[in-house]
Structures are given as C-alpha cells and as structure tokens.
Amino acid sequence: MTKRAIVASRRRVGVAPGRRRRTYHHGNLRRALLDAALKLVEAVGPKGLTLRATARLAGVSQAAPYRHFASKDALLATVAEEGFKALTRAMREAIGPLAGNPTAQLQVLGVAYVGFATSHSSHFRVMFEVADREAYPSLRAAADGALVILKGVISDGQKAGLVRAGDPADVALAAWSVAHGLSALLVDRQLVELGQKSADELARGVTQHLLTGLATSQSADAGSLRLC
C-alpha cells in the first residue's frame, strides 16, 4: 500500500467528522474506550456491546484497544470496577453530613444506591454482568467497598441501639436487597406503569418501609421518619 493510499484511507475511516485527530496518537484512548463502552451499553445493552463497535465509536481501528486492555472481558471488568468505585464514593458522600445519625444514614444509603443505578444505568448493568469477578481482583475489591460502608452504618446503628440487633450481615442483606431490587426493576424498565414518580421518590418511599422494619421501638417514632 502506498503512502498516499494510507493517508486517503485514514481520511476515509476518519474519526468523527470534523473532529479528526491532529496527532497519530490519541492522547487518552484508554479513557475514550471506557466512555465509548458506556455509551454503547446505554444504546444496545451489555450483551450488544462489541469491542469493535467500541473502537469505532472512539475513532480508532479495531486493533487499537488491545494496547490498553487484554481482552473484551478486561475492558468490561474495568468499567464495572469504575462503577463500584463511583458507587462507593456516592455512598460515602451521602452519609458524610449525617455522621452520628445511623438511621438517617441508612436511608440515604438506599436512596444513593438507587440514584446511582438510575443515573449511571450503564455502569450498573455492567457491574452485575461481569462473568467472572474472581478473575479481576481489583474489581472484587471495589465491589467489597460498597458493602463495607453499608455494614459499618448498620453496626453503628446497632451500637447506638437504633437498629435491631443481629448479625450486621443479615441486616445489610435486607437493606441491600431493597435498594438493589428497586434499582434492578427501574433499570430493566419493569416499572413503566409507575412512571410518574421519580426514582428518588420511589427510593425514599421503599427504603422508608424497610427502615421502619429495621428500627427498634426506641427509634421508630423519632429517627427514621424524620427524613420524609
């Protein structure tokens, strides 16, 4: 292939028209691929995502991603890991202002979880669809981060006598189930008939019901109801 032909072909393939790269190197292709993957999941779902389409959307050749990710699975695992880190951050930020009030913290955690799921639905869907989490230790660690926060708040609540006693893991499972269930139903669009309410309102209502169940009689009338 002549030099002329190569240049012409590059022009043909191009990047997004009008945004042709000025340099041969991309600059931050790793980041661009992750973003492209998220956009694709949004458009066609996790099972419709292909590595070739991701490269295409990022404006590079189909082989380019292999400079940054060992395989398609590795790309997805990275997306999932970033998702868990963002979720953990969101949860941490939600409970920050409420230090010392575990009951309120528990509710905002639920709301934060559902909020993350609906506003980052591509992340959320990938997070729970990575085939083999054990193959990616840093993903595994990131996923644990969120659970650690939840368990901490619950055990704080128990120490303060505001949350039912019992294995924190059991109580955490109940809390996690509500938040995860509502999130999954919303993200999978199973709830079209409840359309008029915002995800936030739904989350507040649903977690409220659970919280009342988790509260001790001491806190039931005071703490848990304050937020609504």
Partner DNA sequence: TGTACATCAGTGAACGCGCGTTCACTGATGTAC
Q: Which parts of this chain interact with DNA (CB under 7 A)?
A: 1, 3, 6, 9-10, 13, 23-27, 29, 49-53, 60-64, 66-68, 71-73
Is there a contact between 162 and 103 (Cβ–Cβ < 8 Å)? yes
DSSP helix/strand/coil, 163: strand
| Residue 93 touching its own copies (CB under 8 A) | no
Task: Give least dist CB 54 to its own copies, A.
Answer: 17
* Cα–Cα dist 162/154, whole Å: 9
Task: Tokens 């993903």: give the residue.
Answer: 139
Nearest CA among 198, 156, 139, 150 for reference residue 175: 150
Which position among 126, 179, 199, 219 is part of the footprint of its own copies (CB under 8 A)?
179
| Residue 161 touching its own copies (CB under 8 A) | no
Which lies closer to DNA via its Cβ, residue 28 or residue 198? 28
Is there a contact between 227 and 104 (Cβ–Cβ < 8 Å)? yes
* Cα–Cα dist 147/156, whole Å: 14
User: Which entry of its own copies, DNA, none binds 138, CB below 5 to 8 A by partner kind?
Assistant: none
Which lies closer to DNA via its Cβ, residue 53 or residue 220? 53
| Residue 200 touching its own copies (CB under 8 A) | no
* Strand-pair partners of 215: 163
Nearest CA among 28, 33, 168, 143 for reference residue 91: 143
Task: Give least dist CB 122 to its own copies, A.
Answer: 16
Which lies closer to DNA via its Cβ, residue 73 or residue 145? 73
Q: Residues in the site for its own copies, rule: CB under 8 A?
A: 45-47, 128-129, 131, 164, 169-171, 173-174, 176-185, 188, 190-191, 193-194, 202, 205-206, 208-214
